[in-house]
Amino acid sequence: MSFFTAIEQYLELISSYPFVLQVAMYFIMFNSITAIIFIASIYLIRGNKDKEERIEEQLYPKQRAFILQNLASHELLISENVLTKYREEIGKLNNKTYDPLITALEDIIKDGKDVIENKNYRSIIKGLKIEEFLIKKLDFSNTRTRLRTFQSLSVLDLTVPDSSILPHTYSKNSFLRKESRSSYLAISNHDPFKFFDQQDNNLNYWDQINLLEQLEAHHKHNLPNFSKWIKYSKNNSQLIFIIKAVSYFNQRISIPALTNLLDTADHEVRKEAIIALGEMRVVEIEEKIKAMYHHQPVSCQNAIIEAVSAISSGDSLAFLKGIYVGANNLDTKKLIAEVIYKYNTEGQTHIDKLHLFEVGFNKLILEHIKNPLIPSRLRTERKNARHAQNSEPQFNTTNLGFSI
């Protein structure tokens, strides 16, 4: 008896029952068929996933070895020969075999960025038609795959036509829109910074990290002048990112624009400007931020204290002593005490004297900052800042003081 014959007989049987029982039996039949389809779909999806994993396990080591072998070649490879050699040694390239190939190439690049500068890197990309495959995935894939494709294009340092990227940069899906705009910064060959002119770039912590990584990887030596976006951006989250980028890349030309933000009405923007100017050692603003200290919210006051510490001109110990006495917030008091202790020898002596007669929490604060074994965010930032003076910027979010 076939399945359809059984269904037909079941329907005839149902028709002989009262209406209420018919409804119940139809409901049972519908749920049973739905459950069968659902279970079959699970097995099908799981089977396909297992097959993909088996293919990846088999191909990934071979593909990685093939790429490394070609990168190590002393001869300048011809792209057509790369594809022919791949087919002879490994096999065909299709949708399922491309995924482990791209993963292998990404892993090799992550192990050493100089891979991209290898004389045979572009021949491998062109010969294996990796760029063409990724562009097709942008046009004929779901959102999750498109997000992953944008990341791959960025890691592989591939530039694609703007027509392949732009439709996604205005997507209604916020995740796709943000990822495509971030990738546009790296893979556009026309105007990579165009989306800084938009006012709908609402950037969270991870968006800012992603953007900074793109700037560090692809534009470190040809950065735009950030001043124009500092002056005209109306989106505070983007403005805060621009301020942090100016500080991170030590873009001195943008200092006047940053200084103007000390008078802005938004205290979050003002706080970031103070921190950035401090990290950039702009001595000229020290007197101004000290004068405005008592009229600021706590977050800006803490930023001023950190800026004075970073500038470290040697002229602000009296100021620090005065605000320590007047501080009524324990966290702020601890920050001030630590800055005084690390400021200079006179500051350290002052803290040692205070420690002799302070009691309660105040004494505990001083013991805390004097203990070199207790981690300190301020000490870490000062150490990183000193290191930055003698080296090129490294991608380190601690330096940026990003806040979630």
How many Å apart are CA 307 and CA 137, to the nearest integer? Answer: 47
Task: Tell me the pTM.
Answer: 0.70
Residue 346 pLDDT level (bands cut at 50, 70, 90): very high
The answer, yes or no, to whether residue 386 has pLDDT greater than 70, is no
- How high is the pLDDT of residue 252? 94
The arithmetic mean of pLDDT across residues 319-336, rounded, is 90
Quote the pLDDT of residue 51: 67
Per-residue pLDDT of 172-197, as tens digits, reads 888 888 888 887 787 776 777 888 88
Mean pLDDT of 22-48: 83
Report pLDDT for 274. Answer: 96
Task: Give the whole-number percent of the chain exceeding pLDDT 90.
Answer: 34
What band does 171 get if pLDDT is binned at 50, 70 and 90?
A: confident
Task: Give yes or no for residue 120 having a pLDDT over 60.
Answer: yes
Residue 135 has pLDDT above 90, yes or no: no
Tell me, what's the pLDDT at 259?
95
Percent of the chain scored above 70 by pLDDT?
Answer: 90
pLDDT given at position 389: 42
In this predicted structure, which of 113-117, 189-193, 336-340, 345-349 has the lowest mean pLDDT?
Answer: 189-193
Over 50: is that where the pLDDT of 382 sits?
Answer: no
pLDDT for res 308: 95
Q: Residue 396: pLDDT band by 50, 70, 90 thresholds? A: very low
Residues 182 and 214: beta-carbon distance below 8 Å: yes
Phi, psi of 371, deg, nearest 5: -85, 110
pLDDT of residue 140 exceeding 60, the answer is yes
What single string gives the DSSP state of each residue in 177-235?
Answer: HHHHHHHHHHHBSS-TTGGGG-S-----HHHHHHHHHHHHHHSTTS---THHHHHH---
> Mean pLDDT in the chain?
84
Reported as a single tens digit per residue, the pLDDT across 205-227 is: 888 888 888 888 778 888 889 99
Q: Can you tell me the mean pLDDT for 262-283?
A: 94
Q: How many CA atoms lie within 13 A of 214 on its CB side?
A: 25
Nearest to 210 by CA among 133, 127, 269, 151: 151
- CB within 8 Å of 109: residues ≥ 6 apart: 115, 116, 155, 156, 157
Residue 302 has pLDDT above 90, yes or no: yes
| Residue 377 pLDDT | 64
Question: What secondary structure does DSSP assign to 341-403, as a single string?
Answer: HHH-HHHHHHHHHHHHH--HHHHHHHHHHH-TTS--HHHHHHHHHHHHHTS-----HHHHT--
Of residues 213, 209, 166, the one with CA closest to residue 188: 166
